[in-house]
Structure 1
Amino acid sequence: MKLIIGNKNYSSWSLRGWLAAKQSGLHFEEITVPMKGEEWERAKHDEMQPSSGKVPILWDGETVIWDSLAIMEYLADKVGRDRFWPKEDTARGMARAMVAEMHSSYLSLRREMPMNIRRRAQLGDVTDETRHDIVRILGLWAEARARHGKGGPFLFGTFGAADIFYAPVVSRFITYGIGVPGFAQSYMQAVWEHDWMRNWIEAAENEQWVIEQYETVM
């Protein structure tokens, strides 16, 4: 398999696709295409053409899957869904709903707080929409941890689909110094110190590419 991703410092959807591929346990070749450059423009008309020039995109022989949620579901079908989702029905139902909401919502948070792993900035006043997004996410984290998180430090105990999809939010909260309650701090630390996240963070910190529009958000 071949997974094409964008800059590790900025590409939140690439992080989700990459974590899903790591969670599958399957071997894959990782190809990073720096966004906004000549290589990106070439790849949009080549390996990334099926996704209309977006990342992540997974090639598995003649099969091509784009969109991080579709990639995760494809991999879950290959290796067994229990590797990604809680086994108990109630927990699995909540995890699915949380992942779907993350996939389709929080547009204000995404716009005002773009992922930038290397950066540390104190965010100024945020819009009511972004504040609502933050409160909603913290509420979901609290409910998942209280109801289903007894088996470990992650949202549903062990690392899985929900953590994969909320990992970029953890990064955003750290980048912009968002104050969170103690349970959320503990959860964020568990995600941030996960071996795969540490590998991603180290690679992001060593990247030389800079996209100015993501460096000036306050």
Structure 2
Amino acid sequence: MSSPRLIIANRNYSSWSLRAWLCLRKSGVAFEEELLPLDTPEFAARIGDLSPSRTVPALWHDGRCIWDSLAICEYVNEQFAAGGLWPADPGSRALGRAMVAEMHSGFGHLRAAMPMNFRARNRAVPQTEGLRGDIRRMLALWQGAREAHADAGPWLLGEFSIADAFFAPVVVRFGGYGVALPPGLLAGYGDTLRRDPDFRHWQSQAARETWVVEADEAGQECDS
């Protein structure tokens, strides 16, 4: 069996790349990563050969390509983590999958107004009703998950899961755009993520990047 190879974009911006990468790290499998910087001739020239959807992330393994972030996380869970990236409890697993599905397809106002950017510090954006609604919904999702699993561990569903990989970029967004997590379970959750060694490794690599794409100033989502 060959080592998996993950195609990612700029660590500073690419929220979907971070999600797939975190799941691979938590699975314990050794993998290769290849970074294509966004908004560059290299990205335009090579992405078509590496991802049929021309988006990142894309995972190559044993001659097959998986090009959707959620599909990558589920594949990693089955192939390399023995199912351990979801809770054993069916109810908790169903809750986590519902949360991830909502993140995967929703929160459009939050995505548009607050793109992930590790360099962002206290950026101000218009507080539209749509954005406020997305933030309220996000915090309610997290609060419900943490209340139900507070005795099982510090992550959303107790132990680290695909749900945490999917919501990690939102914690970054909230930090960069001045959205404070309420004290108690949610503030503790944010601290758990920020202290995580794998998350900190990605963050340190993002800090070393020199590419700046248009979205760093314009506030547009950088990946899909």
Do these two structures clear the TM 0.5 threshold for a shared fold by scoring above it?
A: yes
Match of 2:11 among 8, 22, 27: 8
Cα deviation, residue 45, structure 1 = 2.6
| Partner amino acid, structure 2, of 1:206 | R
Residue of structure 2 in register with 1:27 after alignment: 30
Q: Is the 8 A contact 1:150 1:156 kept in 2?
A: no
Residue of structure 1 in register with 2:120 after alignment: 119
Q: Is the 8 A contact 1:120 1:177 kept in 2?
A: yes
Cα separation, 2, equivalents of 1:149 and 1:43: 45
Residue of structure 2 in register with 1:161 after alignment: 162
| Partner amino acid, structure 2, of 1:90 | G
Residue of structure 1 in register with 2:205 after alignment: 203
SS in 2 for 1:152: coil
Cα separation, 2, equivalents of 1:165 and 1:6: 16
| Partner amino acid, structure 1, of 2:191 | Q
Residue of structure 1 in register with 2:92 after alignment: 91
Seq. identity, %: 44
Structure 2: runs of 5+ lacking an equivalent:
none
SS in 2 for 1:118: coil
Q: How does 1:1-218 map to 2 (within 5 A)?
A: 1-48=4-51, 50=52, 52-80=53-81, 82-182=83-183, 183-217=185-219
Q: Is the 8 A contact 1:95 1:162 kept in 2?
A: yes
Deviations 1:78-135 (A, max 9, x none): 1355311111111111111001111110011000000000120232431111111111
Structure 1: runs of 5+ lacking an equivalent:
none
Cα separation, 2, equivalents of 1:124 and 1:36: 23
| Partner amino acid, structure 2, of 1:115 | M
CA RMSD for the aligned pairs? 1.5
Cα separation, 1, equivalents of 2:125 and 2:18: 26
Cα separation, 1, equivalents of 2:81 and 2:36: 30
| Partner amino acid, structure 1, of 2:71 | A
TM-score, length-scaled by structure 1: 0.94
Deviations 1:31-79 (A, max 9, x none): 111001011011123223x2x2100000002111011100011111213
Cα deviation, residue 12, structure 1 = 0.3
